[in-house]
Chain A
Amino acid sequence: MSATADVRLERVTKHFEDVVAVDDLSLEIPSGSFFAMLGPSGCGKTTTLRMIGGFEQPSEGRIFLGESDVTGLPPYRRAVNTVFQSYALFPHLSLFENVAFGLRRKGVKGDEVKKRTREMLELVGLGGFEKRRPRQLSGGQQQRVALARALVNRPRVLLLDEPLGALDLKLRRQMQLELKRIQNELKITFVHVTHDQEEAMSMADQIAIMNGGRIEQLGGPADLYEKPATAFVAGFLGASNLLDGEVCGADAVRIADGTVLRVAAGALAGRTGGSVAVGVRPEKLRLDASGVNVLRGTVTETSYVGVSTQYIVETPAADLVVYVQNAAPGAGTLAPGSAVSLSFDPEVAFVVDHV
């Protein structure tokens, strides 16, 4: 990943009357990356994207595209293009004219417009549809037109606001792969807003998890999943077990039932006391006593879901969710009521502040 940032937000705040939509947010998006902004509805993703696009102006702070400060510039003077959630295709224009719109506004010559528009329609798999009107297309096709219409301008940054939100699951998976392929091919920086964690994880190089107008944590998908910094991130990205406790050493936490759990050196990030929670992902708990940290409990629920079997195990400290992969056929499942040991090693645990 290159060191230069294509988009830089410096302490950006946006108020709508008394609502704080984006709260003192700073962010750098590396050039050529596929960057996702992930968070629950209302956390300020769209507002952030609209400020980068120029549709909203920040109440405070500055926005840079590359080296230039674009704060205050209207959208038509920014080298970014947007794929709108509603697609916003022009109903009175043909596909060709929809895609050619930006090129014509920039004064690109007729032959060149034709060539680039055709190429782009080809790239998104809509060659030969030039004369159609948007309303004659399916949702997935309209989505591709919206993408082509933005990309044909070779923007410095492409902004996508939940572009796949209106598509059904199968089409969405297909378009995710396609978006990824196109981004690889064109090497344009993509800023992709979504509330679908799986979508963000599977597509993005970097993810900013947003909450309440702020970035809760920023990192690669694996980082965020393995080492969530807050309980919010741990809960938002996949399932996790949180065991409340007190720090009782450089790498130890005493949980509610008195058990002392070992965590990796550095996981406590310098904490020497106080309330924390030790987190373990369900698939990282083993149903035996072979690990460093061992908990005992009773199975209360069992559900077989094919690829894995999911258990809920009641322990004195908390109810824990455990996923056991069904690697061998006929491995058998534990019946509710069975007494079990659960264990995990320090390296797979993470520590967050007590909520």
Chain B
Amino acid sequence: MGFLHRHRWLTPYGLLAAGLGWLAVFFVVPMYYLAATSLKSGDIDFGYAFTWAWGNYAHALGRYQEQLLRSLEYAGIATLAAFLISYPLAYWIAFRGGRWKNVLLLLVIAPFFVTYLIRTLAWQTILADDGPVAGFLRTIGVLGADGRLLATSFAVVAGITYNFLPFMALPLYASLEQVDKRLVEAAEDLYASRPVAFFKVTFPLSLPGVFAGTMLTFIPAAGDFINAQLLGTPQQAMIGNVIQSRFLVLNDYPEASALSLVLMLAIVGIVVVYARALGTERLGT
């Protein structure tokens, strides 16, 4: 009789240990240092000292409010766009994919075989002033003669949408795949036309996927800086760009830390409100 056998109640804790250890080392400890750093003052040459410098927050918020709001806005629009593109895609694969399902899913994640940076750089070429998309849009008159796609908000949002699309599509697929098709038949039997059956049955049952997908897209999108850097200009800078340059270029650790925490709190706040809204939606009829 081994120790674990005699103390079987320990097993669940044993299984949790690896995860808890991971969380402690890679989340709790860094969060502690981040919070501590955000309250330091001083400079890189003479070192930073912990002084309860709450002013860092006021200063960071005052100065970078614009980038913060822009990040949430871009992330929000990109999430919505990714949702609108992914839902029909995931629906089609789940309900009509048949034996091609796995191949189609592989195609959805195929872009991940190429590095994030390279993929985003490719969009520079696609959206370039002399590129095919801009050329076409000029021809049909959507874009003016000297209109641009690259270096605009559109390019940044499009880049984010593209880069995070699989994070939206996969959870949507996973939840749609689980929707019992017989429930749709039951709805049609009870006088619901196809669209009504969709909105009354399929869509509500896919809400867990909608929630997971929007979270997985919105959260990293709000903190992204690659897209704004490669596809935008300083006019399109997001909070991620500011944090990145504060940390790595200007070595202003306290303010960068303060901004990181502000971003995190903003996201947590939005997620809580969103989860509540979706939760009550699911309880209603």
- B188 contacts across to A, CB distance below 8 A: 54-55, 74-76
- How far, in Å, is B24 (CB) from chain A's closest CB? 36
Task: Report if B193 contacts A (CB, 8 A).
Answer: yes
Q: Which of A82-90, A281-289, A317-325, A335-343 contacts B (4 or more CB under 8 A)?
A: A82-90
Q: Which of A143-199 contact B (CB under 8 A)?
A: 149-150, 153
Task: Report if B130 contacts A (CB, 8 A).
Answer: no
How far, in angstroms, from A94 to B204 measured CA to CA in the complex?
13
- B96 contacts across to A, CB distance below 8 A: none
Contact in complex: A97, B285 (CB < 8 Å): yes
- How far, in Å, is A175 (CB) from chain B's closest CB? 19
Task: Report if A91 contacts B (CB, 8 A).
Answer: yes
How far, in angstroms, from A90 to B188 measured CA to CA in the complex?
12
Contact in complex: B190, A102 (CB < 8 Å): yes
- How far, in Å, is A156 (CB) from chain B's closest CB? 13
- B200 contacts across to A, CB distance below 8 A: 101
Answer whether A101 and B190 are a contact pair too, CB < 8 Å, given A75-B185, A86-B182, A88-B180.
yes
- A76 contacts across to B, CB distance below 8 A: 188-193
Task: Report if A115 contacts B (CB, 8 A).
Answer: no
Contact in complex: A88, B196 (CB < 8 Å): no
- How far, in Å, is B211 (CB) from chain A's closest CB? 14
Q: Which of A40-55 contact B (CB under 8 A)?
A: 53-55
- How far, in Å, is A63 (CB) from chain B's closest CB? 15
Contact in complex: A92, B205 (CB < 8 Å): yes
Annotate B165-202 by CB proximity to A: 1 below 8 A, 0 otherwise. Answer: 00000000000000010110111111111101000110
Task: Report if B282 contacts A (CB, 8 A).
Answer: yes
Answer whether A149 and B190 are a contact pair too, CB < 8 Å, given A86-B182, A90-B183.
yes
The residues of A with any CB-CB pair to B shorter than 8 Å are: 53-55, 74-76, 80-82, 84, 86, 88-94, 97, 101-102, 105-106, 149-150, 153
Give me 7 other A-B pairs in contact (C-beta within 8 A), A92-B205, A149-B190 excluded.
Answer: A75-B189, A76-B193, A101-B200, A102-B191, A105-B191, A105-B196, A153-B191
A-B contact pairs, 11 of them (CB 8 A): A84-B186, A86-B180, A88-B180, A90-B186, A91-B183, A92-B204, A93-B285, A101-B192, A102-B190, A105-B190, A105-B191
